[in-house]
Amino acid sequence: MKAPRIVELLAPAKNKEIGKEAILHGADAVYIGISGFSARMAAGNSIEDIAELVEFAHQYNAKVYVALNTILYDHELLQVEKLIRELYRIHADAVIVQDMGILQLNLPPIPLHASTQTDNRTVEKVQFLENAGFTQVVLARELSRDQIAEISSQTSIALEVFVHGALCVSYSGQCYISQAITGRSANRGECAQICRLPFDLQDADGRIVRKNAHLLSLKDFNQYDNLEELLDAGVSSLKIEGRLKDVTYVKNVVAAYRQRLDCIFRKRPEYVQASSGRSEINFTPNLSKSFNRGFTHYLFNGRQHDIGSFESPKSIGEFVGTVKTVGRNWLSLSTTLTINNGDGLCFMDKDGLNGFRVNRSEGGRIFPAVMPGLSAGTKVYRNYDHDFENWLTKKTAERKIAANIFIREIPTGFALQISDEDNHSYTFSVILEKQTAQKPQQENIRTQLSKTGTTLFSVKSIDIRFSKEWFIPSSLLGEWRKQLISGLLAVRKINYRQERSPIPPTTHAYPEKELTYLGNVSNSNSGSFYLQHRTKILQPAFEQVQQKNVPLMFTKHCIKFALGWCPRETKEKAGFREPFYLINQQNKLKLSFDCRKCEMRVSLENQQ
């Protein structure tokens, strides 16, 4: 019989505290950045903090992956090698990397995961990475269900996909617009998010097609309803985006996906949870209540029209209802939801997203702190639920590992054993002169041995094997319980096995015979790696030599498609002449369209 596939819910951790909360709320693994070399430069952490998170996670058989996914320069290589050795020493479970030069370092046998920054969208690329020694590959967000299934059918490496959070409009690792405009490289963790800015869309004759719109800004990814299909397509790791998100976001989103996965596992025994324990959540998760620009499945079910958040890159939250009446200093809504004091409400107007804080809500009337300019029929959203957010700042989850206790009498006293759901066990015996009890003792024994309190264990059963009622003081039972719990925890720590995965020397051919700036070759090690794998390097990384008049962004998002002008869908002409440009006060971006690949490319028209 085929073994069940282990499925991992992977959560972001801006810091160790958020990482711990992610695990308590049901994550099987967390990924966290290390200072200096993560693709979110603002979310770096020290070795000491990561070590503390690793120790906490491993209690639950949860894993900690460290993001070291930037391109590197030659003077950084030795420092990175030292960092990876430190990560192996503290028992981190894997390092997420972008730069192939890392594979040329003298590394300990720590597993390497190929970041989405390595642009993993073809069978050939994933096969190459698997043969190079990677143990897990993060697939491109742009892939459809069928494309994921095709990759899975021709590889055996663990496949990781994003399921929730912000969407980069460009293929990850193939976006250079931030570097070109601001000198801040997305491949170095310093993206300036040019794609979230407003632009005018202009045609070749200077006519304005669309004014002051965020035409490169996408809605947020949400695959909550597609998790089962993703598993059936061959995915093993489900990743939530958000290493810059706060703790309430992580709590809510992780809890929602944990509960959804648990429902799937109950009816699909061929899939099992990757870590131990069950999370007890004391709130009702609601994805729409956390930061979102509206949700999209993106390209999972093929190309879709409504994927952009063109009106605003800010969070709109959950739809509440429409404005019914507007008074002098109040308004009322057609809604089934309760609006509370302190809520943040928002709406779209000619300037984009506008909002206001609810000062008071009573009798169906909402009194804003400052009265907004809206009218009857306006759609209203709530992007800050005061009561919900306030609740999430408290203790909202416990995670418990099931345990069973067995106590029996022996000639010299008593023997006790505790075992957990992972078949770890701890046993000890006590030399004690037995005293016959005057009244039944079993209820008290069960009560005292079950008081696991704030520990990570929850006692499900206590098996008592006595020939008669023996008296055992409650204080002594309490001491035995503490010894059982500390002993079992020690056994779990000893038995945790850090995966070892040395990188083998390889020379198999890279899928591309030549690499331009798109190869992101920024150091001598990565150059050596590609030459070793039979690829000629034509250009160094864009960060080292900025190529002129080249595409800076490659995206499946197509503005012509979004505006209804896709030549594959309609024979009608747009009425505007190409090329199209995106223009704001600082820059003029030229758009080109590769309809054969169904891609849009963005370049900098006024690049010097």
pLDDT, one tens digit per residue, over 194-209 is 999 999 999 999 999 9
Average pLDDT, the chain: 95
Q: Could you tell me which of 146, 215, 241, 307 has the C-alpha nearest to residue 553?
A: 215
Bigger pLDDT: 607 vs 171? 171
Cα-to-chain-centroid distance, residue 423: 30
Q: Domains in the chain, start-ordered, CATH in brackets?
A: 5-167+219-275 (3.20.20.70), 316-392 (2.40.10.170), 400-495 (no CATH)
| pLDDT 10s digits, 545-602 | 999 999 999 999 999 999 999 988 877 767 889 999 999 988 999 999 999 999 999 9
Confidence of residue 350 (pLDDT cuts 50, 70, 90): confident
Confidence of residue 37 (pLDDT cuts 50, 70, 90): confident
Cα–Cα distance between 4 and 258 in angstroms, integer?
A: 18
| pLDDT 10s digits, 78-109 | 999 999 999 999 999 999 999 999 999 999 99
- Environment class of 282 (CB within 10 Å of its CB; exposed 0-12, middle 13-18, buried 19+): exposed
Region 60-67: what's the mean pLDDT? Answer: 98
Cα–Cα distance between 532 and 507 in angstroms, integer?
A: 6
Region 239-258: what's the mean pLDDT? Answer: 97
pLDDT at residue 351 in the model: 84
Region 24-39: what's the mean pLDDT? Answer: 90
Share of the chain above pLDDT 70, in %: 98
pLDDT at residue 42 in the model: 67
What angle in degrees, to the nearest 10, is found between the helix axes of 442-450 and 474-495?
Answer: 40
Could you tell me the pTM of the whole model?
0.95
Residue 605 has pLDDT above 90, yes or no: no
Confidence of residue 420 (pLDDT cuts 50, 70, 90): very high
pLDDT at residue 471 in the model: 96
Region 370-384: what's the mean pLDDT? Answer: 94
Tokens of 596: 């054969």
List phi, psi (to 5°) of 496: -65, 130
Tokens of 462: 């206590």
| pLDDT 10s digits, 450-484 | 999 999 999 999 999 999 999 999 999 999 999 99
**Cα separations (Å) of 353 from 239, 379, 482, 599?**
29, 11, 56, 29
pLDDT at residue 606 in the model: 67
Cα–Cα distance between 459 and 477 in angstroms, integer?
A: 14
- Environment class of 235 (CB within 10 Å of its CB; exposed 0-12, middle 13-18, buried 19+): buried
pLDDT at residue 174 in the model: 97
Residue 417 has pLDDT above 80, yes or no: yes
pLDDT at residue 40 in the model: 67
